[in-house]
Structure 1
Amino acid sequence: MYLSLRKRFGQRVRELRKSAGFTQEAFADRCGYVRAYMSRIETGGANLSMDAIETLAAALNVPVSKLFENL
């Protein structure tokens, strides 16, 4: 089954968030997002801007490229 890039990206964000020990709500707060938006990101429902991707990487303390590994 083929998953869209947005869904694969969202799964990667979820994986990295959990590895960093953040709940979805705590991570959303760290990014300055509401939890519902973070949920949309992680389920592939949000079409992220470059700025949003950069915000996620900064909140995880990883380079942007790490968010795209193994997609």
Structure 2
Amino acid sequence: MSAIVESLGVVVRQLREAQGWSQEQLAEHSDLNRSYVGEIERGRAIASIVTADKLARALGVSLSVLLAHCDQFAQRRTAQRIYLAAIAC
């Protein structure tokens, strides 16, 4: 799984939970299928830019903010992996 796909899933889940929404509610607000939202959150589906925009709008953020959160998550994950590799040596 690519880092951006994983990051998007985690960030979408975090933002959804911050809204207090179920996957079903996010699906309704974004006009997507609930199972597809679940696949995105688990990093098993690669969302198109149109889908990412639908999710962002439903979650009350711009697409650029959503992607910025994904980038920040990926950077933190990379830093954590580097740290773990350093202490394992």
Alignment TM-score, normalising by the size of structure 1: 0.86
Residue in 1 aligned with 2:77?
Answer: none
Q: Which runs of 5+ in 1 are unaligned?
A: none
Larger radius of gyration: 2
**Runs ≥4 residues deviating over 2 A:** none
RMSD over aligned CA atoms reads 1.6
Deviations 1:1-47 (A, max 9, x none): xx722111100000001101111111111111111100001001111
Residue in 1 aligned with 2:28?
Answer: 29
**Identity level (%):** 33
Number of aligned residues: 70
Flag the structure with more relative contact order, 1 or 2, with Cα contacts below 8 A and sequence separation at least 6: 1
Q: Which has the higher helix share?
A: 2
